[in-house]
Each structure stands twice: as structure tokens, then as C-alpha cells.
Structure 1
Amino acid sequence: MDINELTALFADSMFLVIIMVSVLVTPGLILGLIVAVFQAATQVNEQTLSFLPRLIITLLMVLFVGNWLIQQLSDLFDRLFMNIPHIIG
């Protein structure tokens, strides 16, 4: 296996990590921004008001997108395991 194939494999792995994290974190960031604007407008400084909606939206994202995330991760590992003989030489 040459350096180009290893680099492509590493790039695919990093891209998958970035996609998985962004799918889970981005809705929480958006909701956190909305709650922060609401708190600033109403001058309510309650910590649970910002934490609980972000927790709920993150859990909902895991519930709805979790199957797709596991499938993507499984496909990557299948590709890695099928390439072991090619990697070893």
C-alpha cells in the first residue's frame, strides 16, 4: 500500500469524524444561540434554561440520525478490514 492510499484512507476517516460531530453539535449550537438571545432580551439568567434544550436536541439528533451514523462508521470499518491483506502486502 503506497502513501497515496494511506492518505486517502486517513482523509476519509477524518472527514467522517467531522461529519459525525457536526451532525450532532450544530443543532445544539443553533438552539443555544436562540436561547442566549432570548435570555439576553428578557434578562433571565437561568443556567438550566440554556442547558436543558441543548441536551434534548442532542438526544433527539442521536435518536433520529444515530442509525445513519452507525452505518457510516460500520462501512468505514468494513473497508478497513477488507483492505488488511492489501495493507500488509
Structure 2
Amino acid sequence: MSMEFVIHIGERAVMTTLLIAGPLLIIALVVGLVISIFQATTQIQEQTLAFIPKIVAVLIALVIFGPWMLTEIVSFTENIFMNLDKFVG
């Protein structure tokens, strides 16, 4: 197993992680920004107001993006197992 192969696998693992986590993080960011703007304009400073919409938005996004995320994870895992013979030698 060469150093380039290990770096390639590590790079692919990091990219897959970012690709899978990206949509959920972006949705949480956008919802948090909208709630913050709403709180600033109405001067409502309730801390729990920011958490509930974010949780609901992320859960809805998880339902929407879940099958795609699972497909990406399974594809990465299949690729690892297909190249298992390269790990030993």
C-alpha cells in the first residue's frame, strides 16, 4: 500500500464527509440567519426560538436528502471494499 493510495483514500473520505454534511449545514445556517434577522427586527431575544426551527429544518432536509446521502455513503463503502486487495499488498 503506497503513500499516494492512502492519501487518495483519506482525501476521498474527507470529500465524501463534506459532501454529505454540506446540505444539512447550509440549511441550518440559512434558517439560523433568517431567525437571527427576525429576532433583531422584532427585538425578541428568546434563545429557544432559534433552536426549534433549525431542528425542524434539519429533520426535513434529512428526510429529503437522506436517500442521496445513503447512496453516497454506500458507494464510498463499496469502493473501499472493492479495493480491499490493495490494502493488504
Per the shorter chain, which TM-score range?
Answer: over 0.9
In structure 2, what residue type is equivalent to 1:43?
Q
Q: After TM superposition, what 4+ stretches of structure 1 lie above 4 angstroms from structure 2?
A: none
Q: Which residue of structure 1 aligns with residue 81 of structure 2?
A: 81
Question: Which ranges of structure 1 fall in alignment gaps of 5 or more residues?
Answer: none
TM-score when normalising by structure 1: 0.92
> How many correspondences in the alignment?
89
Deviation track 1:18-58 (CA, whole Å, cap 9, x = no partner) reads 11122111111111111111101111112222111101110
Output the CA distance in 2 between the equivalents of 1:12 and 1:81: 14
Q: Which residue of structure 1 aligns with residue 61 of structure 2?
A: 61
Deviation at 1:12, TM superposition (A): 0.6
Percentage of matched positions with identical amino acids: 26
In structure 2, what residue type is equivalent to 1:22?
G
Whether the 8 Å CA contact 2:20–2:69 is kept in 1: the answer is yes
In structure 1, what residue type is equivalent to 2:16?
L
Question: Which ranges of structure 2 fall in alignment gaps of 5 or more residues?
Answer: none
TM-score when normalising by structure 2: 0.92
Matches within 5 A, 1:45-60: 45-60=45-60
Q: Which residue of structure 2 aligns with residue 44 of structure 1?
A: 44
RMSD: 1.0
Whether the 8 Å CA contact 2:28–2:54 is kept in 1: the answer is yes
Q: Which residue of structure 1 aligns with residue 5 of structure 2?
A: 5
In structure 1, what residue type is equivalent to 2:61?
M
Matches within 5 A, 1:11-22: 11-22=11-22
